[in-house]
Structure 1
Amino acid sequence: MSDRTFATYWRAYQLLALYGADGEQRAAVAASTRPNGSFNVSKYAKMADAAVMRYVLDHPDEE
């Protein structure tokens, strides 16, 4: 895994840990795992960004 790919993965992991529920983390991992067992980091990152957006929309009064 390249440094850039790992950085993308790590950012997504941290976002899901902070803003996503455990269920979202599991769902993102499951959805990002290809049938051959490889992992789609770009899809995982997009799902993490979507989880943050949902959190922001659901909690408008928090900063």
Structure 2
Amino acid sequence: MLSENLKNIRDKKKLGIRELERISGVANSTIINIEKGKYKNPTIDTVSKLSKALDITIDELVYGMKE
């Protein structure tokens, strides 16, 4: 779920992986691995940085955005 949500939200906000890396401070390799489902349980710090950079809540990132 997190992997799909991250990619969908990033795409909706028209952010490339490098741009998300720059604004979140999360390494692009980590972002790629989360999106590919290789990192199934990233740290809360990583999830927090990504959600803050995407201007969404942690719940929205993990469980999906309400349409």
Using the size of structure 2 for normalisation, the TM-score is 0.37
Using the size of structure 1 for normalisation, the TM-score is 0.38
Of the two, which has the highest radius of gyration?
A: 1
Answer 1 or 2: which has greater helix percent: 1
